[in-house]
Amino acid sequence: MLQLHYREMGQGTPLVILHGLFGTLDNWQTLARRWAEAGHRVISADLRNHGRSPHSPEHTYPAMAADVLGLFDQLGLGPETTLLGHSMGGKAAMRFALDYPDRLGKLIVVDIAPRASDMRHQDAILAGLNSVDFTQCTSRQAADEALARHISSFGVRQFLLKNLYRQDDNSFAWRVNLPVLTAEMAAIGTEITGAQPFLKPALFINGGTSDYIDAEDKLHGIPALFPNSQVATVLDAGHWVHSEKPDEVFGLVQAFIGS
């Protein structure tokens, strides 16, 4: 169990937010601030091997869920807490809900299903990140140019470049533990299963143009583990629903927590 780096704001009903693969808690700060202003105690965390949280050779969902349990214990979070996770963070949140159901009031999963993924869609991103030679790369622009040889999307590159930081010796490095994430990509794609379903309320938010949650997931995969769940589709949004349609996500979460 690792002690996660987190940021806290606001007072009221607790809401814990977990980011996705290659992300940090900063990805959710605009919405976190809005939920705090709306009357919630919002805790955003960096998952292991991401952001400012510790690195570890293990990167599995049981390990991530145990880290989150440690955060709950550290902050004295009770069973009225809502846990929200996006993508990889959504799978970590599902694992937590299934492993520690008594610690949670409600679950929110953003654009990910419990089923397995072969993670081939991450190949170009891994190739790009691993291609940056920090002995030669002396600027953000140089890092972007290296990424661009593998990743055509400007938006994806900008998202990844949020991981770039200067070390004490002024050289650049990635905040993510890239060697471990590269080695553990199959584990990140693994299916979430449970001996017992999570019976409390769960909200799955999916982007209307994203394929991370499909018809089969809605019909069978999600209800099998989360029988008291609903799926809300945000039209004209892709996988990064919260950055593409923040007002819609804000409203859905507010209504669900208040229901």
pLDDT digits (tens, 9 = 90+) for 100-119: 999 999 999 999 999 999 88
**In whole angstroms, what is the distance from residue 91 CA to residue 221 CA?**
13
φ, ψ of residue 69 in degrees (nearest 5):
-60, -40
Whether 111 and 232 map to the same domain: the answer is yes
pLDDT at residue 110 in the model: 98
Structure tokens at 257: 């927590």
pLDDT at residue 211 in the model: 94
Q: Is 171 a catalytic residue?
A: no
Q: What is the three-class DSSP state of 193?
A: coil
Domain that holds residue 224: 6-116+190-258
**In whole angstroms, what is the distance from residue 78 CA to residue 30 CA?**
25
Whether 10 and 87 map to the same domain: the answer is yes
Residues of the chain with pLDDT under 50: none
pLDDT at residue 13 in the model: 95
pLDDT at residue 138 in the model: 86
Of 255, 211, 37, the closest CA to residue 112 belongs to 211
Tens digits of per-residue pLDDT, 41-78?
999 999 999 999 999 999 999 999 999 999 999 999 99
Whether 98 and 163 map to the same domain: the answer is no
pLDDT at residue 213 in the model: 95
Whether 209 and 112 map to the same domain: the answer is yes
pLDDT at residue 259 in the model: 84
Q: Is 87 a catalytic residue?
A: yes
Q: Which of 151, 168, 185 is the last residue of a domain?
A: 185
Q: What is the pTM of this model?
A: 0.96
Contact, 245 vs 236, CB < 8 A? yes
Whether 177 and 70 map to the same domain: the answer is no
Distance of CA 145 to the CA centre of its chain: 26
pLDDT at residue 20 in the model: 97
Question: Which member of 44, 53, 87, 229 is catalytic?
Answer: 87
Q: Which of 167, 185, 203 is the last residue of a domain?
A: 185
Question: Which member of 19, 86, 239, 242 is catalytic?
Answer: 239
Tell me whether strands 106-110 and 13-18 are parallel, antiparallel or unpaired. Answer: unpaired
**In whole angstroms, what is the distance from residue 188 CA to residue 60 CA?**
7
Contact, 1 vs 69, CB < 8 A? yes
